[in-house]
Amino acid sequence: MAAQPARVALIGYGPGGAVFHAAYIAATPGLKLAAIVTANPRRRAQAKHEFPGTALLRSPDEIG
């Protein structure tokens, strides 16, 4: 039986998060980019476009 991927929440979607971290998490076997945390409207729109189906959270307090 295959193990379920580890669900990862990325906190911050600035240049590092958007260009490096999110893509690395999404491309790594065994990891699933489950949520992106950013309150910035422009970055939320970018994350929604680049990672459809990933939860968008406004605060780390929403990670559950």
The CATH number linked to 18 is 3.40.50.720
Q: Give the number of domains in the chain.
A: 1
The whole-number pLDDT of residue 41 equals: 97
Express each pLDDT in 15-35 by its tens digit: 999 999 999 999 999 999 999
Domain hosting residue 46, numbered range: 6-62
> Is 43 within the bounds of a domain?
yes
Q: How far apart are the first and last CA of the chain?
A: 26
Q: What is the mean pLDDT of residues 53-58?
A: 98
The whole-number pLDDT of residue 64 equals: 82
> Is 53 within the bounds of a domain?
yes
Provide DSSP, 24-57. Answer: HHHHSTTEEEEEEE---HHHHHHHHHHSTTSEEE
> Is 1 within the bounds of a domain?
no
In the predicted model, is pLDDT for residue 3 greater than 90? no
> Is 26 within the bounds of a domain?
yes
